[in-house]
Amino acid sequence: MTELLSLLGLFVVAFGAATLLPLQSEVVFVAMQADARVALPLIVVVASVGNTLGAMVNYIMGRWVEHFRDRRWFPVSPAKLARAQAWYARYGVWTLLFSWAPLGDGFTVVAGMMRTPLWLFVGLVALAKTGRYVALALITAGILGG
């Protein structure tokens, strides 16, 4: 039961970390890996799925955010919004391979605004998020000595 709760906690933190919330899933991931009660592949899968689904929240927000861009409370100026869209139009969907990075949440929102096909968004984001957790697992394994 403790392992299931740990996995659920990892999923929730990984999900939240992929949104615009200021959360970090790496600490929970590394702690679970160091504890070694749960198989590492399962930890990677749960973190990756949670993080990818969290990024989909950003994508959905991006799909609807432009409806509000003329409102006074809108958090991004028209010039910055146009700049982000132009940047994404120039570099395209490949920026989603950096969705794991600190500014990657912004890429996922802009991808929704730019109407990136959902299948392509999910594929690239899942690849990036899973790759990040695999790399983290390998680095942590090296530090922990196996």
d(C-alpha 131, C-alpha 115), whole Å: 24
Domain boundaries, the chain: 2-144
- Burial environment of residue 75 by CB neighbours within 10 A (0 to 12, 13 to 18, 19 or more): exposed
- Model confidence at 146, pLDDT cuts 50, 70, 90, reads low
Per the structure block, which two tokens stand in for 132?
């990040």
H helices within the chain, ranges in order?
2-18, 26-35, 40-65, 78-91, 104-113, 118-144
- Model confidence at 122, pLDDT cuts 50, 70, 90, reads very high
pLDDT in tens, 65-99: 877 877 788 777 888 888 888 888 888 899 999 99
What pLDDT sits at residue 20? 82
Residue 102, pLDDT > 70, answer: yes
